[in-house]
Amino acid sequence: RKLVGKLTTGCTEFNEMLGGGVETQSITELYGEFGSGKTQVAHQLAVNVQLPKEKGGLNGSVIMIDTENTFRPERIAQMVDGLSQKHGEDYDPEEFLKHIHVARAYNSNHQILLSDSASELANELKNTERPVRLFIVDSLTAHFRAEYVGRGTLADRQQKLNKHLHDLQRLGDLFNAAVIVTNQVMSKPDAFFGDPTKPIGGHILGHTATFRLYLRKSKGDKRIVRLVDSPNLPDGESIIAVTTEGLQD
């Protein structure tokens, strides 16, 4: 078993809450309502993972499964520029973009297939200078939610999601990579999905995701991140800011 790696969020409190950063060989679930910052955090981690270890990165590359067409290269470039300022370096956004491999998933079956392709690509990169150290699925649940509608389909949806999550966990273990998945929840209780603090995907996601982070909006560019039900860390909250330069304290 390989030593667990820690990937910086770029935010002091957030890192401390996670015991140093986002862990490899684990699934970390970002959940929260629309606009709460899930995709922003995912973008920032796709940048940070490429940093050298002394800067909190894992010297790795990224595979992102984008199900909602929300990947924005320009946003990555802004974040890289933000890091250049922060570290007094001259990072090249194009270099960072080269190491983010994005695949668009058109439906839930395609999304599952893409996790197999991700495994193949990660294998090819395994013994290079830039092994894959981060897998992102943004959003994990959107296609499933759209396709499996109504009570009768719930068991089927959960079973498919469960298998998908196990595949992702395996990728994390096999490549000593962090796995980030996002999951939109409603701010108000919903007749069908119920309690917003219990994300869609329900208990199955709850047990599989080792780190569950509940994001919510606060004043201005501030976001509150809550660590929920961690097996080995105290529950806690931290405040981050989503700025033009990326995530900040």
**Residues of this chain that bind ligand GTP (CB under 6 A):** 32, 34-40, 75, 184, 242-244
Smaller CB separation from Mg ion, 39 or 115: 39
- In the range 45-74, which residues lie near Mg ion by CB under 5 A? 70
Report the alpha-carbon distance of residue 25 to residue 173 in Å, rounded.
5
H or E element in which residue 7 lies: strand 6-7
Q: Can you tell me which residue has the tokens 């002394």? A: 54
The answer to whether the peptide bond before residue 139 is cis (omega within 30 degrees of 0) is yes
Instruction: Select 1 or 219, whichever has its Cβ closest to ligand GTP.
Output: 219
Place of tokens 């401390």: 16
Q: Which does 35 bind (CB under 5 to 8 A by kind): ligand GTP, Mg ion, none?
A: ligand GTP
Cβ distance to ligand GTP smaller for residue 50 or 78 = 78
The residues near 24 (Cβ < 8 Å, ≥ 6 apart) are 2, 4, 5, 6, 7, 58, 133, 172, 176, 177, 178
Type of residue at 106: Y
36 in a labelled binding site: yes
Query: Per the annotation, does 37 bind a ligand?
Result: yes
Query: At its nearest, how many Å lie between ligand GTP and the CB of residue 182?
Result: 6
Nearer to ligand GTP, 6 or 38 (CB): 38
- Does the annotation list 53 as a binding residue? no
Q: Which residues bind Mg ion (CB under 5 A)?
A: 38-39, 70
